[in-house]
Amino acid sequence: MHKIESNNVNFYYGENHALRDISLSMKENTVTALIGPSGCGKSTYLRLLNRMNDLIDGTKMTGSIVIDGADIYEKNTNVDNLRKNVGMVFQKPNPFPKTIFENVAYGLRVNGITDKNEIEERVVTTIEQVALWDEVKDKLKKSAFELSGGQQQRLCIARALAIKPSILLMDEPTSALDPISTSKIEELIYELKNKYTIVIVTHNMQQAGRVSDTTAFFYMGELIEYDKTKTIFTKPAIKQTEDYITGRFG
Amino acid sequence: MGTHSACLPDVILLKIKNTLLKTNFKQIKEKVIESILMLSSAATSITVVLIVFFLFIEGAGVFTKKPIDKGFLLAVNESNPVGKLEPSQIKDIFDQKIINWSELGGKDEPIVLFRTGDITDYYTEEELGENFVNFPDKINELIAKTPGIIAFFSDKYVNKEFKGKEVDINKISVYKFLSGEEWFPTAEPVAQMGVKPLIYGTLWVSLGAILLALPIALAAAIYLSEIAKKRTRNLLKPLIELLAGIPSVVYGFFGLVVIVPLIQSVFNLPVGETALAGSVVLAIMALPTIITISEDAMRNTPRAMKEASLALGASHWQTIYKVVIPYSASGITAGAILGIGRAIGETMAVLMVTGNAAVIPHSFLAPIRTIPATIAAELGEAPNGGLHYEALFALGCILFIITFGINMLVELVTNRNSHKKH
C-alpha cells in the first residue's frame, strides 16, 4: 500500500499542458526527490499533492491522486483537512510578520486548538524537532524576521510540523540558503524521514543523492524515469536521465 | 587623383560638424525640456505657498480687530467702573441675560440698554430739533444722567463735550475663537465668533461618515481582492471608481431628494436635514477612496504569505482575517484617513443636507453646520475686508490645519508600512 498514489495525472494552465500522464507512487516514511530542469512540471506536481494549484485561476486537472486511500480531488474532500495532513515548505522562507512563537502556533490556532498549555508544548517540541530551540529560546517573542534565512526556513518547517502532518512537501527548500544552512536542513530531512513521508523538489543533484530514497526525473511535463535514487544516479535506464544528471543539459 | 584625395577629408569634416551640431541641438533641447519641467513644479509649489500665506494673513485679521461694526461705539456713564467687556458679555447684556452691572464687577445698578432708535423714548422730536441736530447733545446728556446706561450708537454723534466713557471691547482671542459656542457673525452690537459648533459639526458628520463607510468599504475591498472572480472584479472596480467622479452637488441633490425624506420618515423627525443625512451622503462619497486604497493594499499581500497560511490548513476566511487584513492594516488605515479627509473638506453636498444650524450637536438626528459649508454659505454676504470676512478665512485656516494634519497622518502610516515590508 502506497502513501501517495497518482494515476494518469494531467494538468493544464489554460492552454498550456503542464503535466502529461504522470503516474507516480510513494511509500510511507520515504524521501522522494523530484528533479528536472526548470519548467518541467516538478513544482506543479508537488503543489497538486496539497491542492495548492486550486488557488490559480484557469487551471484544470484530470486523473487521480490518492493519499491514504482517498482520492483528494473527490468533490467532498475537505481541502483544509487535507492541507493539515500534507504540510508544505516553500522555496523562499516565508514566515508571517509575527513573533517566532506565533509563527509556529499559527497552524494550531487556525485548526481550532485553544488550550494555552497544549499550544505552548507543541510549539516548543516542534522548534526542538527542527534543532532551532537553542538559537531562539530567548527570543520567542521577537519577530521572525530577525532570524537568518536558514533559521527562518527551519522555523517554517517547524510551523508545518506543528500541526502533525504525515506528509511534508518541500519545494526547493534550500535554494535561497547558504551551504551551512543547507546542510542543516538536509540533516533535518534525514531525521524527519522516520516519521514523515517527504517529497522534495530540488535542483541540486547532490542534495537529491544525499537525502532521497527514490528519485523521479521530470522533463517537459513528463515523468521520464522513477526509481531508487541509487539506481537513478548510478545506472539510469534512460539516456535523457543520465544526460541530465551528469550535467550535459538542463 | 589629387581632387579625390582632397575631397575625402572634406566629407569627414562635414560629418564631424554635423554630429557636433546634432549633439549641441540635442543638449539644448534637453535643457529646455528640463527647465520647463522645473518651472512647472516651481510654479505649483509657489502657488501652494501663496495660497496658504494668503489664507493665514487674511484669517489672522480677525484677531486684530474689535468685533464691533466700524463707526459705532459702546458708551457708559462716566462713573461706571466697568471699562472693558468681552464680546460674549455684551451679547448677554443686549439679550438681557445680564441685567445688573454688579454681575460684571460694577456697582449694583440695573443696566439700561440704549440703541440709537430708543432716543425718542427719552426726548420729543422738538427737543431733538430739525434733522436731529441736537442728537449729540441729548445723547451726551442722557448718558451723563443715567448711571446704569450702556449705549450703542454711531460715533458721528460724539461731540467735543462728550462726557460718557467709551467701553473698550476685547479683541477676539484665538482661545475664545476656538472655544466660543456661539456663531453669530452678523449680530448687533457685537459679532459672536465662536467656531466650536462648526468644528464639532464638521467632526460629527465626518465621524458618522467614516463609521458608516468603513465597514461597507472593508467588506467590498475584501470581496474584490480575495473572493471575486477576475471577471467580476474587472466589472465592479471601474464602477466603484466611477463613484468618485460624480460631482458633489449631484450627491447633495441625491441626498436632499432621497436620503433627507427617508431619515425624516424613518426617525419621525420634524426635519430630515440632520447630521445623519450629511454622514450618509459623505459615506457614499468616501466609499470609492477607501475601497480602492484598501483593496490595493490587500492585493499587495505577498502570495507567499497567503499560501503559507493555506498550506497550514487555514481556511480561506481565516487566511483573510489572520494574514491579509493584518498585512494590509496600514493601507486600510490610510484609506480610511483619506476618506475622512475628503469628508471633512466636502462642502456642497453637506451644505445641502445638514440643515446648517450652528449649534453644538447632541445627536446625529439634529441639524448641524460644518466649516466648509459655513464658508460657502456666508462668504457672499460678508463685506470684503470686514471682520466676518476675516473670520471665514480663519475658519479656512482651521480646515487647512485639520486636513494638513490628516495628510501628515497618512504619510506617517504609509511610511511605517513601507518600513515594515523591508
Question: How far apart (Å, rounded) are the C-alpha atoms in residues A134 and A124?
Answer: 11
Domain B196-421 listed as CATH 3.40.50.2000:
no
Higher pLDDT, A198 or B4: A198
B177-232 residue pLDDT tens: 999 888 988 887 888 889 999 999 999 999 999 999 999 999 999 999 999 988 99
Residue B299, C-alpha cell as written in the block: 492585493
Q: Do A90 and B310 touch (CB under 8 A)?
A: no
Q: What is the pLDDT of residues B124-138, one digit of tens each?
A: 888 888 877 888 888
- Least trusted range by pLDDT, from A79-88, A98-107, B17-26, B283-292: B17-26
**Domain-by-domain residue ranges, chain B?**
2-62, 72-170, 196-421
Residue B277: count of CB within 10 angstroms of its CB? 32
Task: Flag whether pLDDT at B418 surpasses 60.
Answer: no
Strand-strand pairing, A167-171 and A86-89: parallel
Closest-CA distance, A84 to chain B, in angstroms, reads: 5
ipTM of the complex: 0.91
Contact at CB, A96 and B420, closer than 8 angstroms: no
Which residues on chain A place their C-beta less than 8 Å from a C-beta of chain B? 50, 52, 55, 57, 80-81, 83-84, 87-88, 90, 92, 94-97, 106-107, 110-111, 156, 159-160, 163
pLDDT > 90: percent of chain B: 43
Average pLDDT over residues B346-372: 89
CA nearest neighbour of B150 among B120, B175, B115: B115
Q: Considering only alpha carbons, which residue of chain B is nearest residue A86?
A: B311
Q: What is the pLDDT of residue B259?
A: 94
For residues B7-27, give the mean pLDDT. Answer: 77
Fold classified for B72-170: D-Maltodextrin-Binding Protein; domain 2 (3.40.190)
User: pTM above 0.90?
Assistant: no
| Domains of chain A by start residue, with CATH | 2-94+167-246 (3.40.50.300)
**B72-170 and B196-421 in the same fold:** no
Mark the ranges of chain A whose per-residue pLDDT is less than 70: 249-250
pLDDT for B6 beyond 70? no
* CB spacing of A52 vs B307 below 8 angstroms: yes
Please name the residue of chain A whose CA is at the shortest distance from the CA of residue B318. Answer: A110
Q: CB neighbours of A5 closer than 8 A, spacing ≥ 6?
A: A25, A26, A65, A66, A67
* Chain Cα centroid distance, residue A23: 18
* pLDDT tens-digit series, residues B302-316: 999 999 999 999 999
pLDDT-based confidence at residue B1 (cuts at 50, 70, 90) = very low
Lowest average pLDDT, out of A21-25, B249-253, B344-348, goes to: B344-348
pLDDT at B2: 45
Question: Nearest-CA residue of chain A relative to B307?
Answer: A52
Query: What is the DSSP annotation of B164-233?
Result: SEEPEEPPPPHHHHHH---EETT-SSB-EE--HHHHHHHHHHHHHHHHHHHHHHHHHHHIIIIIS-HHHH
Segment B339-368 mean pLDDT: 88
Q: Which of B233, B306, B312 to mutate to test the interface with A (most CBs of A within 10 A)?
A: B312
Spatial CB neighbours of B249, under 8 Å, sequence gap ≥ 6: B348, B349, B352
